Structure 1
Amino acid sequence: MSEARSTKGERMSVTQRLCQKIDAVSFDSLPATVVDTARGAVMDGVANMLAGSQEPLASTLLSHLSRFPAAPGATVVGHSLRLDPFQAAFANGTFCHSMDFELMWYPPNHPTSPTLAAILALSELREVSGRDAIAALVAGFEIQGQLNQAIVDTGVRWPGGLHPPGLLGPFGAAVASTKLVELSVHQTQNALGIAASRAGGLMANTGTMTKSSHCGHSARVGLESALLAEVGYTASDDIFEATHGFNDVYFGGRLDLEPVVEAFGAPFRMVDPGMSVKKYPAQYPTHWSIDAALRIRSTGEFDPADIAQVTVEVGADNESARVERPTTGLAGKFSVSYTVAAALLDGVIDIDTFRDERLHSPDMQRTLEKVVIIKNPAVRAMDFAEAWSRVTVTLTDGSQHTARVDRPLGIWDNPLPWDLWVEKYQRCATRAVDADRAKEILARIERLEELSDLGRELTPLLSTQ
């Protein structure tokens, strides 16, 4: 293959060639499987935004943002409030991640919340068709997925303490926005340079409201980066490979960026390996243990009050095994101990599992004291292709019940059936809107590519006006 060169005969930068790939993405170029997956991602993202808009986090966030209303402004999902498009993207992206219920990926990341929130906000600034929104979403997902995969393929350690959607999300939101405002290749390079200077998000905030704001922040700054580039705001035009740029600062220059360009869209990572649809509103490494605990609970062969001990074997690197005694319901989303105890006691894990009242109830506290986590160094819990978990319940009479889960339902190679995915949407959506409105929203998402103007035909339906 000959080297890509500019019109002056110089070899093009990685960033420039990547932006050419981004520029080439169009609805007509997308395989049907990609379009179907993108439509599902929009459904899942909207569901998360609607349900997330009713979470305690949302009322706290809006008590701040409502001090700065804007007219005509942009839709705040699940509310009548309107904000400027950047703050609306921030709010909606935060809502989308607030329950830890949005789509998951490998390598680990949540690409929906930054990307979709930016698209919805922009749809009320510019005329955005459903076809263009799908292409923008796909490109926004792909830049995040390819950068993340390059990290794994190169064998470079993920920058310690950084939350993936905080680091990669600004690029996803920026790329989606550049597609919708039809920036040139060079303008897109500038947009990515601007976005790179706004990336971050510390994992120390896991289990607090701030973790979700990483996704909202990514949506906001990605959207703004594209609009700044549109009017001529400048940035490094080779931000990925530049000295003191993305690769240099975060990875010491060791990241191999060539595969990011070469593999972009060949195939799109949202279909290969594919996305994981979450069944439970909890950090993904808990799902293996939840499935195992629910399998035991479903036998109906014992009374949870008779549990003497629960052992949960997970990989030693399982991020959700770090918090054995969460202090808030929100923190319980990131705890194998809590999610397993809740599954055994209640036989279900849903949004209301993670309320402070449930965490501090006497039966939950008694059961938590009986949970023992075994961290197996031979199991790679954060490599979702290799992870497994085993739950063993020992009863007071000495009998035991054991279940091991290798592939939780919803992971890319054990996909959640469409009817169960729609059921998830309905459960989430009707926390914010009535059943008829939820049905109408779903109907429009299901024919998304037929919509001519999202800002008139879809986005306003997500408010309570």
Structure 2
Amino acid sequence: MPTLSQQIADFLTGDIGHRISAPVQALVETAFIDTAGCILSGRDEPVTRHVLAWLDRRASKNSEASVLFSAHRLDAVAAGSLNALSGHALDFDDVALAGHPSVVLVPALLAEEELSNLAGSALIQSYVKGYQVWADLLQRLPDPLHEKGWHPTAVLGTLGVTAAICAARGVSPYIAAHALGIAASQAAGLVANFGTMTKPMHAYWAVEKGMNSVDLAQLGITASMDALDGPTGLLTALSSSRPPERERPFSGLESLRIETVRPSIKKYPVCYAAHRAIDGVLNLRADHQLDATAVKRVHVHVSPTNRKVLKYARPQTPLEAKFSMQFACASALVYGEVSLHRLSAASLSDPQVIRAMDVVEVHDDERACPLEPTFAFADRVVIELADGTRVDSGDIRFARGHAALPLEPAQVEAKVLQCVPPEQRDTAAEIVMRLRRMLRGSDRSPPHFDRGSLCH
């Protein structure tokens, strides 16, 4: 029986155009547009600036692809990697498969499009194939990666990018199998670095290592055919005492996972583990006209894994605030919003926010969610007021923007426009329009602006 790498390689080199339905086309289109907004939102983050300066110092003469939708250009691998970093810098990018698939797949494919002038249909197929590989590998692992300290975006995202680029380039099954094996030796990223500049570097490295793995395989570098499913392969390395699923055939031949496990668009620019609770606080605040100063205690019930991920009870920086349930609830309670504007040093020093963070208590809910293993079946928020009143959100099954409660296309485009200053919103709207036309095959011009940089 062919190894898993060989089975995946056959899938990557086949045509699945007939399996791309109109709903799948629309999902991928939304993923590209939402990721574009996230790339724009992170342009001015310190980590983006630092890495851009580092790349400029070591840049080759190749100017293959644009960065940050601007006139600035780098080689395709560097451009795709930096755009992924910018897209993940504010943790506003979409969520699925226990991680952030689009923030690595989309930048890699946009860079490859500029390098190879890919058709829109090729971009769609390549995204779906990368997504499928990530989903299949995730299903084979016995325990959530987060619980062992692995960040799936960095680990499985590296394989997803490798798969997507193999598909985009139309490499042979032989090359694709070796590229996957090369990528397997480079897949890494730690949850311990959440709340620091290293966290968005996970997206950078997933793109860099994925694209480089394909380049190396095309140059003749070899890898083991059982680097994924062998007794000493990646799946075993990522598993605990329980063995991974090695025997099942690759799932891409049966169904496309994106049809049943769709990306969820983030409504709030913080870790997705806090989104259900944010909705709960906002709903209770609006329904009961709550005054933050009258709140005695906020009880939030989430899964043990998500409680550990949201590890900063008293965040000191906006980066830490993105991984703080206390800040998420406090911002929702005090300001009635959790937005890019509120993720600031000013908010963290606001006496009302400090007081509100101090009254938030996070409790474990052991009910497992069959759709999102790191989540509880439902989250819950209970707020106690100084006068003894208790208000209860009840079970919150999904957050707004989840695939089960999707944002409308107009809401996604509105999110993109909020990711740039008011004076640049016409330009951002044009990026959205160009992306739509490119993916639908009616415009082959890249969605960036030679007339001037969007960086400022």
Q: Is the pair's TM-score, using the shorter chain for normalization, greater than 0.5?
A: yes
1:178–1:433 Cα change, 3 Å = farther
In the TM superposition, residue 265 of structure 1 has moved relative to its aligned partner by 5.6
Amino acid across the alignment from 2:438: L
Aligned residues: 449
Asked whether the 8 Å contact 1:113–1:219 carries over to 2, the reply is no
Are 2:69 and 1:61 aligned? no
Contact 2:302–2:375 (CA under 8 A) maintained in structure 1? no
* Structure 2 partner of 1:6: none
Q: Does 1:295 align with 2:286?
A: no
Contact 2:310-2:324 within 8 A present in 1 as well: yes
Structure 2 portions without partners, runs of 5+: none
Q: Given the alignment of the two structures, is residue 180 of structure 1 paired with residue 156 of structure 2, yes or no? A: no
SS at match of 2:13: helix
> Where do residues 122-201 of structure 1 align in structure 2 (5 Å cutoff)?
122-151=112-141, 154=142, 160-201=148-189
Deviations 1:273-320 (A, max 9, x none): 322111111111101110000011223623222222222222333234
TM-score (norm 2): 0.91
Q: Contact (CA 8 Å) 2:35, 2:87: kept in 1 or not?
A: yes
Q: Does 1:434 align with 2:424?
A: yes
Alignment of 1:1-150 (within 5 A): 11-71=1-61, 72-106=63-97, 108-150=98-140
Per-residue deviation, 1:206: 0.6
What is the Cα deviation at residue 28 of structure 1?
Answer: 4.1
How far off is 1:410 after superposition?
A: 1.7
Larger displacement relative to structure 2 (181-190 or 309-318): 309-318
Using the TM superposition, name which of 419-428 and 76-85 deviates more. 76-85
Higher mean C-alpha displacement, 82-91 vs 240-249: 240-249
Q: Partner residue of 1:274?
A: 262
Q: Match for residue 242 of structure 1?
A: 230
1:85 is displaced (CA, Å) by 1.9
Distance 1:203 1:378 in 2: 22
CA gap of 1:142–1:378, structure 2 versus 1, over 3 A, is closer
- Aligned partners of 2:205 and 2:422: how far apart in 1? 23
Q: Identify if the C-alpha distance between structure 1 residues 45 and 258 changes in structure 2 by more than 3 Å, giving closer, same or farther.
A: farther
1:369 corresponds, among 355, 358, 362, to 358
Deviates more, 1:430-439 or 1:301-310: 430-439
- How much does 1:460 deviate? 5.0
SS of 1:53's equivalent in the other structure is: coil
Residues 385 and 201 (structure 1), Cα distance of their counterparts in 2 relative to 1, 3 Å cut: closer
Q: Given the alignment of the two structures, is residue 230 of structure 1 paired with residue 221 of structure 2, yes or no?
A: no
- CA change 1:227–1:244 in 2 (3 A) is same
1:417 aligns with 2:408: yes
Query: Is contact 2:303-2:375 (8 Å) kept?
Result: no
> 2:329 aligned with 1:340, yes or no?
yes
CA offset at residue 432 of structure 1? 9.2
Q: In structure 1, the residue corresponding to 2:187 is in which secondary structure?
A: coil
Deviation at residue 21 of structure 1 after TM alignment? 1.4
Q: CA contact under 8 A between 1:52 and 1:96: conserved in structure 2?
A: yes
Greater CA drift, 342-351 or 237-246: 237-246
Asked whether 1:254 is paired with 2:243, we answer yes
Which residue of structure 2 lines up, in the alignment, with residue 392 of structure 1? Answer: 382
State the SS of the aligned residue for 2:320.
Answer: helix
**Amino acid of the structure 2 residue aligned with 1:356:** A
Q: Aligned equivalents of 2:67 and 2:418: distance in 1?
A: 20
Offset, 1:459: 4.6
Determine if the alignment matches structure 1 residue 355 to structure 2 residue 353: no
Q: Are 2:70 and 2:449, in contact at CA under 8 Å, matched by a contact in 1?
A: no
When structure 1 is superposed on structure 2, of 206-215 and 110-119 the one drifting more is 110-119
Match in the other structure for 2:293? 305
Report if aligned partners of 2:145, 2:151 keep a CA contact under 8 Å in 1: no
Alignment TM-score, normalising by the size of structure 1: 0.89
1:258 and 1:354, CA in 2 relative to 1: closer, same or farther beyond 3 A?
Answer: farther
Residue 353 of structure 1 aligns to a residue whose secondary structure is coil
Shift of the 256–375 alpha-carbon distance from structure 1 to 2, 3 Å rule, reads closer
Cα distance in 2, alignment partners of residues 61 and 358 from structure 1: 27
CA deviations 1:380-421 (Å, max 9, x no partner) are: 696367532222222333333322322222222222223222
Conserved 8 A contact 2:147-2:305: no
Distance, in Å, in 2 between the alignment partners of 1:25 and 1:126 is 18
The residue that corresponds to 1:204 in the other structure is 192
Aligned CA distance change for structure 1 residues 422 and 36 (closer, same or farther; 3 Å): same
* Offset of residue 99 of structure 1: 1.4
Letter of the structure 2 residue corresponding to residue 45 of structure 1: T
Q: Is the 8 A contact 2:303 2:376 kept in 1?
A: no
Distance in 2 between residues matched to 1:156 and 1:299, nearest whole Å: 36
Q: Contact (CA 8 Å) 2:149, 2:190: kept in 1 or not? A: yes
Q: CA RMSD in A?
A: 2.5
- Cα deviation digits, residues 43-89 of structure 1 (max 9, x gap): 11111111111323322332333323444342111544322222212
CA distance in 2, matches of 1:354, 1:188: 42
Distance 1:437 1:325, change over 3 A: same
Distance 1:239 1:111 in 2: 22
> Which stretches of structure 1, 4 residues or more, deviate above 4 A after TM superposition?
154-159, 378-382, 459-463
Shift of 1:124: 2.4
Letter in 2 for 1:74: A
Identity %: 27
Tell me if structure 2 keeps the 8 A contact 1:207–1:330.
Answer: yes
8 Å CA contact 1:76, 1:463 repeated in 2? no
Q: Which residue of 2 aligns with 1:4?
A: none
- Contact 1:174–1:192 (CA under 8 A) maintained in structure 2: yes
- Aligned counterpart for 2:317 among listed residues 328, 331, 346: 328
